Structures are given as structure tokens and as C-alpha cells.
Structure 1
């Protein structure tokens, strides 16, 4: 059978046809054919391919003759394939020990080789001795246990893929040292390292002398990847590093020029609470994947210096609150927080996100998180409602009431409107501002002072203090801090003519009407409805406790005896509860005596 009438045919796929034999003129007339696929037939190499069967294929550039069955015990006849001098790519089985014969020397255009079934156990310089111009080699199906000089001085080689649990550390070192003499740009090592749990830093040191662009080390059971801050930094040309599907618990390298980092499905949860994955202060990173790492909390400054970050994937972790410094992420385009346990964002994070949304089309995925349906989450839900097109799959968001019931937020604006009414119905904050502060200012001779530091640079702290007191006629109010009650402090005040009060309410610093550390922008930036509701929630509980303790310091007693939230309740509710003898008996061990 010949194909003279198909002389313009470019691709011929005969895979999975149970072919056992080819006639010598099987491909006669296919002089324009570019790609021939014979994969997964039952073509026994030395029986099925007549000597000149491939000779008519004058334009063939891609040949797939993989069988991928373990009964392949012989190499493909090199004299048969030697006629296809136009061949550029080949997919072929590689039996042990000599997969390729001298006939392949005629294939001077051959650049790409992909192994099918591979029984090679050793890689020596003889394996590719007749294929000098290979640029792309995929041996991911080979179970290699021995390596020696296979890739040394192969200047054209720019892509190498290896796999299966085969290499001891000394072979890894020999391999990467050989790659220094190549043009390697992509190195894939999947499930390769045998009995190696700590990342061999020699890989980075050796590849620093190459033009490497991408390194993938997926599924290698690595547990630790920490190098010297200078000597073991990532190669300066490296753009993509994939260490997904390992067991890494610690990682830290210099990676100032890396573009993409994939750490998906590792065990970095405990480590990232207080540490970073890099020693670099400034990053070129555009994308990072930290999903599936059992992360419950992140170092607040983890992404500082990531000025160019576009995509950040933190999905499938155990985050309950997003508390991150995103001030450097002005270019962020995608933030994936799906499948966590996030209940709310803190106020600073909300401010950062709002700033980004003013300039960029940031997309945030919060699918499969369950928010609180409470005043504490008001700011978070408001952020989502006002920027709904920036939140992916928002029609499937949910929130949870105090009683545990789940509410669908398919109409999140309606829920925000409900919370607006409920959360602004509290009056304690209004009373504090309208009644308490004027009373202190008019009758108590106090002044509410929200004061930023105005020390004069170059002058001593003591001089700054005395000048400020003398110029403005201020008095100093000690607050029972030992530093303020010391003889040295008192002598300093007397010697410098500073008036001071020592009649502060005993043991009650938490109800001080003056807070010296408040900042002016507090009123415009930090005093949100959510913040006020937290204060109200505390105040509802602390007032009855202050009364019960007759003015003594409450410390964290209110929180311990009243773990429930005050939403929908009143001061009298907690006072009545505290007056109940049966309740008091249960919590008497918490009350100071």
C-alpha cells in the first residue's frame, strides 16, 4: 500500500492500531510528510522495519516510534533511521545498555530526544555519543542509578529532564558540574533524589556559572532547603523555581532576581510565622504560590520588598485572619485566599487593599471562607460590597452567626445594610465623646491631647521635655509606673520646675483619660466602626467587673469570665449575670482577692 495521492500530507498518525509489520513501500509518495506517529503499536523493531521503509520521508522532522511496553529489549535499528537526515525530533524507547547505534551520526539536524520506555540504569558518555547536536533531552522515564560524564561539554544542550528516585547526592553533584559546560536553561528533576532530604546547595553554586532560567524539583521528599546567604543564592539568571509537592519545612535563599516561586504542597506553616523564605531585601518576584502549606499565620512583613508581585496564591491553608503588610504590593493583580478559615481582615489590611484598588484591577478570591456575621466584620464585608467586581465568586461567599447558622452572602450589600443599622445602634462611643470628654475638659481641668512627637532633633530628650512643659504650662501626670515614681524621676521634676500630680486612680491604668501614645491620624484612619465595636464589646463587660472589684485593676478578667461577644446585649445583661451567685461561684477562681 502506498500514498502517492497524498503527496501533500503533513501529519500521519498511526498510533494504537495494533500494527505488527510495515511493508517496504509503506510510506512511498509521502515526500512532504513532516510528522509520523507510530506510538503504541506492536512493531518489534528488528522485524517490523524493512531497511529502506523510512527512505521516502525526505521532509520528515518529527518521528514518534515509542512502544512504552516493558518487552522492548533491543534498540531501534540505526541503519533504518539513518535515511531520515531531515529529522529534528524523535520519541523513542531506550533499552539497556546501548540504546543508539552509529547510524544516528548521519542525523545532524536532530535536536530533540524524548524517551519512551527506558530500561537504562546507567548514564555514561557513550549513551549519546552519536548524537552530538541534541539541545533537548527528556529522560524522565529512565530509572538511572549511576551517572558519569554524560552531559559534559555538550554545548548545544539547553533542556534536560530527569525523573524517578534514582540519584544519590554524589551523582547530583557530578551532574550539575557537567552542566556548567553546557548551555542549560531548563533543568527538571522530578522525583529524582534518592534518600536525600536536605537540598544539595551545590546545584545553585554550579549553575551560577550558566544561563539557567528554570529549575523544577517537584516531588522529591525534600524537607530542608537553606543555604548560605551569599554563596548559595539562586543563580542570577534564574527566573522560575518550582519546589512544589515536597515536604519542605524550612527554606531560605537569596533570590533577588527570581520571577516565579512555586512552593505549593509543602509544610512551611510553622516556619513562616516568624521567618521569610528569602534573605533578599528587595525582590523582582512576580508570582508566588504558597498554597497547601498548613499556614495558620504569616510573618506580618513577609512580602515587604515585593514591589513587582502580581500573583500571590495562599489558598488551601488554615489562615483565620489576613494580617499582612501589603504596602509594597501596589502592582498586585491576583490574591488567592480561597479555602482558608478567614473571618475578617484587620483595618490596616483593608486600607492597603483599598489603596491598591484605586490604581489596579486587583482580583481577590475568598471562596470557601466563612466570615463572621457581626459588627467585628463590618469593615471587611463593606470592603467586599463596595468593590464586588474585584472579588471572584463573591456570589458564593458565606458568613456565620453567633448561633452557628450559615448565611449565604449572594446579596452582600443587603447584609452590609443590616449590619450598618445594627452596628451603629450602640451609643456608648457617642456618650464617651459627647459627654465624658467635655466633662473632663470643663470640670476636671483636663485637655484631650492627641499629640504627635515634636521633639527637636539634636537636643537631649530631657531638654525637649522640660522645654515643652515650660512653654505650654503642662503638668506631668505619673501613672504608677516605677520609672515615674523613682527618686531620680522626682528629683528631675523638682530641679526643673515641673509641676506633677501623684493622685492618679490606684491600679487603674486602663481607664486613663489621657493616652500619650495616640496619633493624630488615628481619628481619620484607625477609628473605624469595627475598631469602635471592639472597644464597645470590651466596655460592656469591663464596667460590671470594675464595679465588682471596687475599682481594682481588671487586667484580662472581663475576657476570661465573659468569653461571649456583647453584640445584642447590654451592660445590665453582664451585670445581672455577674450578680448571680451560681455564676459567681463558677468563676470565683478568676476573680482577684
Structure 2
């Protein structure tokens, strides 16, 4: 086996191995100092001589006061309680304290010494408390002790006031990330982020929570010159005014929800200003969450406005599809754009010229019906630069085979959480593909073409396929698929369970053992199929053989007639001109009778034209063809019957061909004369000839001179009159033969029956 197969259980073993090495990290136990809280310990290096630190979780315990804490607390969560105050010096002994989460409580004010002693605190979360932005609630010196603080969250509070608590914030010299609301009573002319914030030289990330109206102007972030990331919450309506780019000289990423007026002009102005900044990532969440009769097509604005910008990442999520894309003209992606995320927009169609996009995320849309017929890449005739595509959760049942056509650089494809039952798409051109996520679908197995395609890709790339939570079947039909899983170079993640033919879930530990069991089951099944197939084939052969045997002479007659020059197959009558009056069918042992008697009496004495095989057959032609042609070109066929006649293959062939001629070419009129040169018992005669003797007349050759005269006269009459008169002539001949004391054929019949 080229590579070991990885299952979900294998992955679990790896996780458990890592877990066991640091088991204290994952087990939360009641704390010794307070049973309402949960603790786990962080092991420290014994050589360093440091004590074991604790992570403490006291969240959602209906606490009204902060419990007494040991000095070795490392992190503390007090969120979702009923705490109203932080007393002075509550945390003064916690020298190793690095993270405090006291969000979702009922604190209305902070004390000057609430955070005294927390010189090592890195993260402080005060979100969702009824704090107001004034000196009584947030004293100027409250954050003075937090000399190491890097992340402060004071958002979704009760931002009544005319300004931010700038004095308190200015003490946080190392602050890197700030979450804050905009005071509700601020006017558009008020400078939101004032001069006191010049000291926040490390502040790079700003998350704005609640606001009535946030207008970004040319001086809004004048005192936050190092700001690179701005996140505007859904509760804040903004407007980006002309000249705003002057205060965003280092902007890298911005996330926006609502604009002041949902109109084309605020969005267009915003994009125009952002395109003049060094921004590389723009996120619009729920910006276009409602439909309008005259919708604003955001993509048109973005595609035109960002053309020539430095934006590499664009995200449009949770928007209304009506206002995203126009139905008619669709502009290509801006050349600078490398990542486009369009998740959760309820899109029902998406066909875009991707330009230079390397990562496309279309998760959680309704593209199933569209991708069944078309590709998401509008220009497939040239190779794209797409490396990552995510179309999971799109209600996809099948994909058009060319959906990934022309995407040779693809490395990651996510098709999880859909309804795929088979691999209908072609990724044979994506030789760099390293991960194909097909988990949470309805796949039962791969067909041989898909397995061959993945094997070819694995020759140039370390391909991994996720098949977790599928409807994999372990039946005789899918045995090849399971053998492929354990033998391929492709790394396949799959569950150790499968469905039997009757839908029963089968759990297994080893795929190899399950394959061996399946082979035994399929062996008996295969034997049953083979036996049934043999019986069916034998029955069919017998039936066909019986039909062919029954109609063998008809088939042979039609075949040889078709081979002859007489390809027409119309009914012949005696009015037709025949080449011969009679064809003589005889055995070589009886050729003296033919030469001495038949030729003399019929040709020389009575001017009949006979067809004899020794004289009239065409040389170089097949014997069977000559026979068929001779019978077809003769008015009658005379069979010289002796015991040797029955032993001759060609004599019997001539008799049967004449019989077929009379049935299928002469309107079932009898054209055969039987001349018996010797007495033959019925049991020695072939059945077909016996039936003809019973139904039609025959004639026996006499041994006396007078009888011979009558014999040849009757033959003469039979060759000259219509077939309907033949029976009468032979009846008279039979009467004559009886007078000559010859043993009549009827007598032989009677004797045999008795």
C-alpha cells in the first residue's frame, strides 16, 4: 500500500495522544476556593521552579460578588453574572493574572483602584455592562495600573455623554486593540478621537459598537495614525465623507454594515475614498439586507470603484441577492482582488470573470440548480489563477462536468454539506489539487473513472479526500471502491461504517478485514450469478437451436437463393419461362438409369430439357448454389428414390430445397416427382419424405416392357400439364402398377401398421 489510510478514528487517536500529554488542560474541575467555579491548571516547567497556574471559569453562576481568588490565577471569566462593582484591590495579589472577562454583568461604575495590582493583565473585557462615558463611571485613573494591557473591550455599554473617556484611555500606552461605542450625544462636528489619544501609538485595531451616526471625515482618525483595522458594528450607521482617506493612511482592513442612507452615492463615495487608502481588505456584512424595486447593485459599484485599488480581499456576506448583482452586464473582478467571499447571500446564480482571484468562497448559498448547468467561472477558455474554492452548503445534487475546467492551479475544493451522490465533475486538469472535501454528502462509492482520475492527480500532488459522514456502501458493486481506498496513494478520510445492500449500518474496525468479509459474501453471490447466467444462456441457446432446427431448410433455402443470381423472391407460376423442364435428383449409384432411360425417353424421344448435375452445373460455383439455382430454374424436380438416395447428403439436400421451393416460391404447389426404383419399407424412409408420400402421389418404375411404356407416357403427361392435373395422372399410374402386381405403397403402409 503506497500510503496509509486515515480514518476518523485514526485522527481521534492522534488527538487523544496530544490530549493525554497535557490532560490537565482539558479537564475542568470544581475549584478548591469556590465550588461554583471551575478550574484547570497550566503545567509549568519544573526547572523554572514556578508554581502551577490556574484558568478559572466562574461564568453564568449568578454571582453577585467576585469570589476570593488565589494568587496563582492566570485567567478569569466572570461573564454573565450579577456583579455590580469591583471593589478596590480585589485583584491586587494576582501577579500572574493576564486575562479578565467580566462582560454581561450589571456594573454601573468602576473605582479608581478596581484594577490595582494587575500590571501583567493583557486582556480586559467590560462589554455589555451599563457603564456610562463620564468620570464618575470611568474615573480618569482607573486604568493607570494596567501598564501591560493590549486589548480593551468596553463596547455595548450605555454610552451616554458627549465624549469618550479619553483621559482614562490615554493611560494604556501599550494598547493594541480597542472595542468602544460612539457617545450618543456627539454632534457631527465633534472630534470623536481627540488629541489625548496621541499616546496610543500601538493601537492598530478599532471596533466600533453602538452609535447613532458615525461620520468618517478627513480628521476622524487624525490622532490614531497607526490604525490599520476598523470594524463597524451592525448597530452603528456610518457615512464615509470625501477626504476621509487622509485620516486612513495606514488602513489595512475595514468592516462595514449600514450606511447612513442606503443609496448609491454613500456607497460610491465610500468606495472612492477607500480606494485612495492602502486598504487591502473590505468587508460588507448585511449592508444590503433588504430588497428594493430599484435596487443598488453593489457589485457594479465595487468592481468599478476598486479598479486600480490595492484591495486584495473583498467580503460580501449576509446580503440580499437582489441588490448584489445585475441580471445583464456583470463587470469582471478588479485586477488586484485575490480573495472573494460571497457566503450566506442566498445566491441562486453566480457566473463571474474571476480575473486574478485565487480564493473564492461561496459557502451557504442556493447555487445547486445553477451549477448543475453552468460554471461559476465565466471565462473558462483560459486558465484561471484560482487555487481555493468553497461551494459547500449550496444544495448541490450534481455538478456540470466542466465546472472546474481550465483551473489548473486548484489546490483546495470544498463541496461538503451538499447532496452529491457521485463524482460528476472533472478535475483531471487540476494536477496540484491537494484537498477535496466531500464530507456530509450522499456518496455511496466512486466509479472507476473517478478513481482513475484521483490516482493520476496523486502522482503529482499529495491528494487528500474527506469522505466523512457519507452514505458509503459496502456491497459487491462497491468492492472495487473499497479495494481502491486501501490501495491508492490518495489519503482518504472516511468513517468506519458503511451500508449493506439492505440498508443495514455495518460498523468495522479494519477496512482490510471488512474487504475480506465482503469478498466471501460476493463469492457466493458471484457463483449464483454465474450459475443463473449459464442456465439462461443454455436455455436461450436451446431455444434458438430449436427454432433454427425447425426452420433449417427454409433458412438454408433463403440463404442460397439470396446468394444466387435470382435475388428476386416473387411467387412463380407455370406461365413463367423456366430454363429446364425438370431437374433430376439422383445418387451416383443410379446414374445408369438416368443416362440410359431418363435422357433417352425424356430428352431424345420427347424433347424435354433436363438438368443433370454432372452435365449442367456451372464449374467453379458452389455445389449448394448450383443446386438451388437448378431447382429454381426448373419447372419440376424428379427424385430417383433408392436406398442410396437416403444415404446421400446432397440428394437429401436437393429434396429439401425442392420442398422449400414448392412452399415459398410456387404458392405451395407440389413440384416434386418421386420415382421409386426399388421397394423401400416406410420405417427406412426419412420422416419428411414419408409425409410427402402420404400426402402426394408417387410412381414406381416397372420391370416389364409394357409397364415401362405406360410409365414414360405418364411422366410425359405430368411434365406437360399443370400441377393440378398431376395427381390424377399418378392415380392412374398407381392403378396400372397394381394391375402389374407390383406391391403398392398403400399396402406397405397397411402392413407396417398391422
CA-to-partner distance for each residue in 1:493-521, whole Å, 9 max, x for gaps? xxxxxxxxxxxxxxxxxxxxxxxxxxxxx
What is the aligned partner in structure 1 of residue 253 from structure 2? 159
CA-to-partner distance for each residue in 1:473-532, whole Å, 9 max, x for gaps? xxxxxxxxxxxxxxxxxxxxxxxxxxxxxxxxxxxxxxxxxxxxxxxxxxxxxxxxxxxx
2:374 is the counterpart of 1:275: yes
The structural deviation recorded for 1:272 is 1.0
The correspondence for 1:118, drawn from 210, 222, 233, is 210
* Count of matched residue pairs: 428
- Change in Cα spacing, 1:44 to 1:122, as seen in structure 2 (3 Å) is closer
Q: Secondary structure of 1:245's partner?
A: coil
2:182 is the counterpart of 1:94: yes
- Tell me, in whole angstroms, the C-alpha distance in 2 between the residues paired with 1:76 and 1:9: 30
What is the aligned partner in structure 2 of residue 415 from structure 1? 518
Q: Secondary structure of 1:321's partner?
A: coil
The structural deviation recorded for 1:63 is 4.9
- Change in Cα spacing, 1:100 to 1:338, as seen in structure 2 (3 Å) is same
- Tell me, in whole angstroms, the C-alpha distance in 2 between the residues paired with 1:391 and 1:165: 47
What is the aligned partner in structure 1 of residue 319 from structure 2? 220
The structural deviation recorded for 1:376 is 4.8
- Change in Cα spacing, 1:120 to 1:344, as seen in structure 2 (3 Å) is same
Note if contact 1:127-1:150 (Cα within 8 Å) is conserved in structure 2. no
- Change in Cα spacing, 1:381 to 1:423, as seen in structure 2 (3 Å) is farther
What is the aligned partner in structure 2 of residue 553 from structure 1? none
CA-to-partner distance for each residue in 1:258-317, whole Å, 9 max, x for gaps? 232211111111111221111253133232211111212211121122223222121222
Q: What is the TM-score of this pair, normalised by structure 2?
A: 0.50
Written as runs of structure 1 = structure 2, the 5 A alignment for 1:352-371 is 352-371=453-472
Q: Which runs of no fewer than 5 residues in structure 1 stay unpaired? A: 437-593
- Change in Cα spacing, 1:226 to 1:376, as seen in structure 2 (3 Å) is farther
- Tell me, in whole angstroms, the C-alpha distance in 1 between the residues paired with 2:176 and 2:159: 27
The correspondence for 2:362, drawn from 232, 254, 263, is 263
Q: Secondary structure of 2:350's partner?
A: strand
- Tell me, in whole angstroms, the C-alpha distance in 2 between the residues paired with 1:203 and 1:392: 40
2:407 is the counterpart of 1:320: no
Q: What is the TM-score of this pair, normalised by structure 1?
A: 0.62
What is the aligned partner in structure 1 of residue 342 from structure 2? 243
- Change in Cα spacing, 1:368 to 1:135, as seen in structure 2 (3 Å) is closer
Q: Secondary structure of 2:368's partner?
A: coil
CA-to-partner distance for each residue in 1:435-482, whole Å, 9 max, x for gaps? x9xxxxxxxxxxxxxxxxxxxxxxxxxxxxxxxxxxxxxxxxxxxxxx
- Tell me, in whole angstroms, the C-alpha distance in 2 between the residues paired with 1:386 and 1:4: 60
Q: Secondary structure of 1:175's partner?
A: helix
Note if contact 1:66-1:116 (Cα within 8 Å) is conserved in structure 2. no
- Tell me, in whole angstroms, the C-alpha distance in 1 between the residues paired with 2:98 and 2:307: 41
CA-to-partner distance for each residue in 1:223-260, whole Å, 9 max, x for gaps? 58668999833233333221111111111222243232
Q: Which runs of no fewer than 5 residues in structure 2 stay unpaired? A: 1-87, 542-754
The correspondence for 1:138, drawn from 216, 225, 231, is 231
What is the aligned partner in structure 1 of residue 353 from structure 2? 254
Written as runs of structure 1 = structure 2, the 5 A alignment for 1:88-487 is 88-96=176-184, 98=186, 100-107=192-199, 109-115=201-207, 117-125=209-217, 127-144=220-237, 146-149=239-242, 151-153=244-246, 154-163=248-257, 167-195=262-290, 198-222=297-321, 232-278=331-377, 279-280=379-380, 281-371=382-472, 376-387=477-488, 390-399=491-500, 401=501, 404-408=502-506, 410=508, 411=511, 412-413=514-515, 414-416=517-519, 418-419=521-522, 422-423=525-526, 425-426=529-530
The structural deviation recorded for 1:407 is 4.5
Note if contact 2:159-2:183 (Cα within 8 Å) is conserved in structure 1. no
Q: Secondary structure of 2:140's partner?
A: coil
Note if contact 2:255-2:284 (Cα within 8 Å) is conserved in structure 1. yes
Note if contact 1:378-1:420 (Cα within 8 Å) is conserved in structure 2. no
- Change in Cα spacing, 1:346 to 1:183, as seen in structure 2 (3 Å) is same
- Change in Cα spacing, 1:26 to 1:286, as seen in structure 2 (3 Å) is same
- Tell me, in whole angstroms, the C-alpha distance in 1 between the residues paired with 2:174 and 2:306: 33
Written as runs of structure 1 = structure 2, the 5 A alignment for 1:443-592 is none
- Tell me, in whole angstroms, the C-alpha distance in 1 between the residues paired with 2:442 and 2:99: 53
Written as runs of structure 1 = structure 2, the 5 A alignment for 1:58-77 is 59-60=147-148, 62-70=150-158, 72=160, 74-77=162-165
